[in-house]
Amino acid sequence: MNCIRNDAFLRTDGRKGIRNTVAVVYLVECAHHVAREIQLPFREVGVHLLGFGGCYPNDYSFRMLTTLCTHPNVGGVLLVSLGCEGFNRAGLLDVIRRSGRPAELLVIQECGGTRTTIEQGRVRIGEILRQLETVPRAALTVEELVIGTICGGSDGTSGITANPAIGLAFDRLVAAGATCIFEETGELIGCEQILATRAATPPVAAQLVESVEKAARYYATLGHGSFAPGNADGGLTTQEEKSMGAFSKSGSAPITGLIKPGDVPAVSGLYLLDVVPDGEVRFGFPNVNDTAEIVELIACGSHVTLFSTGRGSVVGSAISPVVKICANPETFRNLAGDMDIDAGRVLEGRGSLPEVGDEIVALVQRVAAGVPTASEALGHQEFVLGYKSFEPVGPACHPVSTIHM
């Protein structure tokens, strides 16, 4: 499990992509329609739509879009601005161009309105696609892969099939040198001391505990938690039961560090992504839906996201492939076209957890080599980005490489 493909897309920072996507990015909701119309004719050739709906500047949204637009799976970018929003479009354009990617900016108020901006945008996309034909290629090894995981639409089967199978896959991938990221601190409440016992260092242990305690305080202030009605309908009974199921996705490897959205790990290993904003509660529910969490995993460099579901989910994502691992055999039969792996077969005696874990690892390698996931084949490109606020993680919890080139 070393070399995965010989023709990965080499970026100027040395990272390698498993896709060569062009991102059309709206910088305010007022530009969303124009950006969508620019992207639509190119949807089948790897042009994705994403963006930020807010009118006022926010450090989190700027950081997220800079990391997403310079993600190794992104080859080029077209920014679409209305013209009077507060987003720092010039700064974002500069960051993308300095990364070596072709990038263009269209300002609707300067281009003559909707029709002319759409026409100009489609011309620019054609030019960027032609430039991507010359992107250098290089061999991609498992040590260069970043894999994220999330669970959504969980039910009583999630914590006994799909989630622990992902944990076994993570153990194999981390042992092979990959970087693996799990998250959902709001769904780890009650597991903080168990997390601490797996920390690679005492400072990491302290930060793991604090991140979950912060999530508990955040939800207490809001007056509700991450335990949804659909979870109860699916057979989950308590937050603690849901937390243990979510925790099992992390496997058993030592936890190397704690990161926050937009942090790209410099050293391979297993990381917890803290997705709950710092400071007082200002922005409402930390993630309005599963798609927002997938986006944050991608912003941390994830080439692929493993999505565990028991009740069923059909979402994918812009930029990086999403692999659906279905925990419930009945759900798999009902939504077979949206699922990639049937982990629920363990409940029916048609397989074992280690076998499903091995299947996940094998599929990650195939997807990294270019095989589309179910959500990719169906054209799913969901994307959500809102307002948040984070403080930087201390150096003790964000390891850096000791290798000098």
User: Which of the pair, 180 or 398, is modelled with greater confidence?
Assistant: 180
Q: What is the mean pLDDT of the chain?
A: 92
Tell me the average pLDDT across 318-333.
Answer: 97
User: Is the pTM here over 0.85, yes or no?
Assistant: yes
Q: Point out the least confidently predicted range of 71-75, 163-167, 382-386, 397-401.
A: 397-401
The rounded distance, in Å, linking the Cα atoms of 97 and 95 is 6
Q: Band of the pLDDT at 289, cuts 50, 70, 90?
A: confident
Taken in order of first residue, the domains within the chain and their CATH numbers are: 9-138 (3.40.50.2300), 145-397 (no CATH)
Q: What is the pLDDT at residue 339?
A: 97
Nearest by Cα to 374 from 330, 315, 329, 290: 315
Q: Is the pLDDT of residue 146 over 60?
A: yes
Q: What is the pLDDT at residue 404?
A: 33
Contact 256, 272 (CB under 8 A): no
pLDDT in tens, 126-137: 999 999 999 999
Q: What is the pLDDT at residue 156?
A: 82
Q: Is the pLDDT of residue 329 over 90?
A: yes
Instruction: Return the structure tokens found at 263.
Output: 């942090």
Amino acid at position 77, single letter? V
User: Which of the pair, 397 or 2, is modelled with greater confidence?
Assistant: 2
| Helix orientation angle between 114-132 and 32-39, rounded to the nearest 10 degrees | 50
The rounded distance, in Å, linking the Cα atoms of 326 and 342 is 5
Compute, in degrees rounded to 10, the torsion defined by CA atoms 286, 34, 376, 161: 20
Q: What is the pLDDT at residue 122?
A: 98
The rounded distance, in Å, linking the Cα atoms of 200 and 165 is 23
Phi and psi at residue 107, to the nearest 5° = -110, 115
pLDDT in tens, 19-37: 999 999 999 999 999 999 9
Q: What is the pLDDT at residue 152?
A: 83
Tell me the average pLDDT across 348-362.
Answer: 97
Instruction: Fill in the DSSP letter of residue 306.
Output: E
Q: Is the pLDDT of residue 56 over 50?
A: yes
Percentage, residues of the chain above pLDDT 90: 79
Tell me the average pLDDT across 273-298.
Answer: 91
Tell me the average pLDDT across 171-199.
Answer: 92
Tell me the average pLDDT across 316-322.
Answer: 97
User: Which of the pair, 86 or 244, is modelled with greater confidence?
Assistant: 86
- Cα-based distances in Å from 181 to 237, 250, 255, 260, 389: 27, 8, 10, 11, 20
pLDDT in tens, 202-255: 999 999 999 999 998 998 888 776 555 555 455 545 555 556 667 889 999 999
Q: What is the pLDDT at residue 405?
A: 32
Could you tell me whether strands 3-10 and 16-17 are parallel, antiparallel, or unpaired per DSSP bridges? Answer: antiparallel
